[in-house]
């Protein structure tokens, strides 16, 4: 979800609704992504279809 209107909408809408936005570095290994997501107690992850495989692996750990 890079450089498109959905990306900008998410960056504006998420803080506007009182939620916390923190981007994930998809260059990190899945284990580190999972730790970040779990440590932050994320309830929602927004990911581009190109990133879904990596995102699913990270969220399951």
Half-sphere exposure of 46 (CA within 13 A, CB side): 15
Instruction: Please answer whether residues 45 and 14 qualify as being in contact, where contact means their C-beta atoms are separated by less than 8 angstroms.
Output: no
Q: How far apart are CA 52 and CA 19, in angstroms?
A: 22
- Global pTM reads 0.64
**For position 52, what pLDDT does the model report?**
63
**For position 48, what pLDDT does the model report?**
75
Helix then strand then coil, % of the chain, to nearest 5: 55, 0, 45
Domain range annotation of the chain:
5-60
Per-residue pLDDT of the chain (61 residues; tens, 9 = 90+): 567 888 889 889 999 999 988 888 888 898 898 899 899 988 888 877 776 665 555 555 4
Spatial neighbors of 5 by CB under 8 A, at least 6 apart, are none
**For position 59, what pLDDT does the model report?**
56
């Amino acid at each position: 979800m890079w450089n498109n209107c959905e990306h900008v909408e998410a960056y504006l809408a998420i803080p506007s609704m009182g939620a916390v936005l923190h981007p994930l570095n998809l260059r990190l290994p899945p284990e580190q992504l999972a730790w970040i997501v779990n440590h932050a107690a994320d309830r929602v992850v927004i990911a581009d279809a190109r990133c879904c495989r990596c995102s699913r692996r990270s969220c399951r750990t």
